[in-house]
Amino acid sequence: MTPSRTLLLVDDEENILRALTRVLRRDGYQILCANGGAEGLALLAEHPEVGVILSDQRMPSMTGIDFLSQVRERHPDTVRMILSGYTDLKTVTDAINEGAVYKFLTKPWEEELLRANVEEAFRYCELGRENERLSQELKTSNEQLERRVKEKNRQVLLNQQVLAISREVLEHLPAGVLGIDDDGTIVLANCQAHTLLSSDNRNLVGQPADTLLPPSVCALFRHAARPADARRIPVGKAPDKIIVDVHCGRMGQDTQSQGVIVVLTQQQENESG
């Protein structure tokens, strides 16, 4: 449904207001009438939906241009027009150039031309209001996007901090930790795992697990279905084999990771004897 168009007519002569109302009411406008600038300003305060104003120029107390200059300050989205039987070219030109007046129309008016000018003024008003609405929506969308980007960046930084702390904790654990993918390749190994399994300081990551771990451990991690599968198994190269507790658990309980985590905990000498 097309929103109603509200037109404000301002003239100190009642017969002019009646004549204008008779001509323009056929176009379906909601028409408000004021007999001077002060009354016009009061009506605008009560009816902010007014889109177009048609005002006489020569009125007592306040000229049409003075009235419309105040309207421009208080209600800048209105379209303001002067209808006058007197033409002061400099005054009219200055008013138009300063933005107080959209168009100057003369009395006596030609009805169809008057109607066409008012229709054009409403289209101009509605276009401006639509542009303002779209600009506001775009501003709101940009602000929302900016907030989402800031939140995303904050979350990324937080995740990076958590990851850095997790890595540091992992490296200082008193137990060897291996991450082994479903193809049997070591994809993660902490410092203690290298101490337990790599006698030549070779990097364990990327190595096939079955070349470093005894068959019993490989069988354990290949079939790890419970997070607490545990065995006590010797690992390492002879003659330096040590006894460790081996815990295997399948990844993917809380994340999308696939594979197995193997935790190797070296036994104290009094326990291994």
The pLDDT tens digits of the residues spanning 155-168 come to 999 999 998 998 88
Check whether 139 has a pLDDT greater than 70.
Answer: yes
Check whether 135 has a pLDDT greater than 70.
Answer: yes
Tell me the pLDDT tens digit for each residue of 191-249.
Answer: 888 888 776 777 888 888 888 777 777 776 666 544 444 444 445 444 456 677 878 77
* Pair of tokens at residue 27: 């176009």
Which domains does the chain possess? 6-137 (3.40.50.2300), 173-272 (3.30.450.20)
**Tell me, what DSSP letter sits at residue 12?**
S
* Pair of tokens at residue 15: 């017969």
Tell me the pLDDT tens digit for each residue of 238-260.
Answer: 445 667 787 877 776 666 677 88
Output the pLDDT for position 173: 87
Output the pLDDT for position 268: 61
Output the pLDDT for position 96: 76
Overall pTM > 0.75 = no
Tell me the pLDDT tens digit for each residue of 83-101.
Answer: 887 767 777 777 777 777 8
Unique residue bearing structure tokens 């997790």: 166
Q: How far out from the chain centre does Cα 252 lie?
A: 33
* Helical H segments across the chain, by residue range: 14-24, 37-46, 64-74, 89-97, 111-171, 191-197, 215-222, 269-272
User: At what angle are helices 64-74 and 89-97 packed, to 10 degrees?
Assistant: 0
